């Protein structure tokens, strides 16, 4: 994601706002930049912005932060006006409109299928690829920090937004590509001191031990799967062979998944570039893409 470094920068300045209040003034500008680079992360960025706004600040700090946000937004707005005819970042939406009549599918079937796929499917589920993010979000929602509860709620809204996106699985990739920003926010929430104390304050000592054990397990799984994906993943092993863009049922195959397929010997299997070509048009029906001409 082109917006990921900027959003992580905003997360860093937000996390260290008490230790470095001057650096925290750049948080709104970084969030605005992230949204203008990738408009689909607006729910998550908005939540981080609300968390930043919860802290009391003098008027001068608000003025500086607002001025920085306007300053960084101006070049993007001018470019959008010149080339897109609107100040809004609609290029990504227009690109999606070229291949589908419904960019977001507002049906219960789409929401259920997309949400289930993003959470538990072996092809794209967070619980398989980055369970520590889920752990952090859940713990933050149960924690005592108001700002972290807001951030966790924003992460949930972002997941729901991706779930109703017509191509929620993210095409050819490893893991839930469209949740990469959510993953980093969840990782930070899992490492937060106030979130770590939530189990003691809410569930008692026994519950805290169980939660700590689950947290350690989530970290271990995330590290192992992440390293496997970094060093061992190749598109030829599963993605181009099963092609989830054509058949989303492949995302639910527990025996032959992107993780288990990393053990396949693909030295004699050159990448099939023709499988990566997008169909002329797509229509989403209950979470599945149907191609038509």
User: Which residue among 40, 67, 98 closes a domain?
Assistant: 98
202 & 248 share domain: yes
Q: How far apart are CA 120 and CA 263, in angstroms?
A: 21
Say if residue 72 is in the same domain as residue 108.
no
The dihedral sign for the CA sequence 241, 245, 251, 253: negative
Q: Give CA separation, 131 vs 45, 103, 141, 183, 216, in Å.
A: 21, 28, 16, 9, 10
What's the rounded Cα separation, in Å, for the pair 14 and 49? 9
Is 173 in a helix, a strand, or coil?
coil
Which element (helix H / strand E) includes 215?
helix 198-232
Same domain, 221 and 252: yes
Structurally, the chain folds into a number of domains equal to: 2
Looking at the fold, whether 125 and 180 belong to one and the same domain comes out as yes
Rounded to an integer, what distance in angstroms lies between the CA atom of residue 155 and that of residue 107?
21
Residues 191 and 285 in one domain: yes
| Residue where a domain terminates, one of 98, 123, 153 | 98
* 234 and 128 inside one domain: yes
Do 173 and 251 fall within a single domain?
yes
Q: What is the pLDDT of residue 265?
A: 78
Q: Are residues 127 and 260 in the same domain?
A: yes
- How many Cα neighbours within 13 Å face the side chain of 177? 11
3-state class of 290 per DSSP?
Answer: strand
CA distances (Å), origin 23, targets 5, 18, 250: 16, 10, 45
133 with 29, same domain?
A: no
Find, among 111, 258, 230, 92, the residue nearest to 172 by Cα: 258
Q: Are residues 115 and 93 in the same domain?
A: no
Domain closes at, from 98, 127, 156: 98
Q: What is the dihedral of CA 87, 89, 92, 93, to 10 degrees?
A: -70
Say whether both 91 and 64 belong to one domain: yes
pLDDT tens digits in sequence order for the chain, 293 residues long: 899 999 999 999 999 999 999 999 999 999 999 999 999 999 999 999 999 999 999 999 999 999 999 999 999 999 999 999 999 999 999 999 988 889 999 999 999 999 999 999 999 999 999 999 999 999 999 988 999 999 999 999 999 999 999 999 999 999 999 999 999 999 999 998 555 555 555 556 777 788 889 999 999 999 999 999 999 999 999 998 999 999 999 999 999 999 999 988 776 665 554 445 554 455 555 555 565 54
Q: Say yes or no: 13 and 81 in one domain.
A: yes
Burial 133-160 (b: 16+ CB within 10 A, else e): bbbbbbbbbbbebebbbbbbbbbbbbbe
- 33, 34, 37, 41 alpha-carbon torsion, rounded to 10°: -140
User: Which H or E element spans position 225?
Assistant: helix 198-232
Q: Which domain holds residue 79?
A: 1-98
């Amino acid at each position: 994601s082109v917006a990921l470094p900027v959003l992580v920068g905003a997360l860093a300045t937000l996390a260290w706002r008490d230790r470095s209040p001057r650096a925290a003034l750049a948080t709104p500008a970084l969030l605005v930049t992230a949204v203008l680079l990738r408009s689909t992360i607006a729910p998550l960025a908005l939540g981080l912005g609300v968390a930043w706004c919860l802290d009391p600040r003098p008027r001068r700090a608000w003025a500086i932060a607002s001025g920085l946000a306007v300053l960084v937004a101006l070049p993007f707005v001018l470019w959008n006006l010149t080339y897109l005819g609107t100040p809004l970042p609609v290029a990504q939406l227009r690109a999606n409109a070229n291949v589908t009549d419904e960019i977001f599918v507002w049906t219960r079937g789409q929401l259920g299928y997309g949400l289930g796929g993003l959470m538990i499917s072996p092809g794209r589920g967070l619980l398989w690829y980055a369970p520590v993010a889920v752990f952090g979000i859940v713990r933050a929602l149960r924690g005592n920090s108001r700002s972290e509860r807001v951030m966790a709620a924003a992460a949930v809204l972002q997941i729901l937004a991706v779930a109703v996106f017509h191509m929620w699985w993210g095409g050819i990739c490893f893991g839930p590509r469209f949740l990469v920003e959510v993953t980093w926010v969840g990782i930070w929430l899992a490492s937060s001191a106030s979130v770590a104390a939530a189990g003691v304050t809410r569930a008692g000592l026994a519950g805290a031990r169980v939660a700590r054990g689950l947290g350690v397990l989530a970290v271990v799984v995330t590290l192992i799967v992440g390293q496997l994906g970094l060093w061992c993943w190749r598109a030829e092993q599963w993605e181009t062979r099963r092609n989830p863009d054509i058949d989303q049922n492949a995302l639910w195959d527990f025996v032959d998944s992107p993780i288990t397929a990393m053990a396949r010997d693909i030295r004699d299997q050159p990448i099939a570039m023709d499988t990566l070509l997008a169909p002329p048009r797509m229509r989403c029906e209950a979470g599945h893409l149907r191609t038509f001409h």
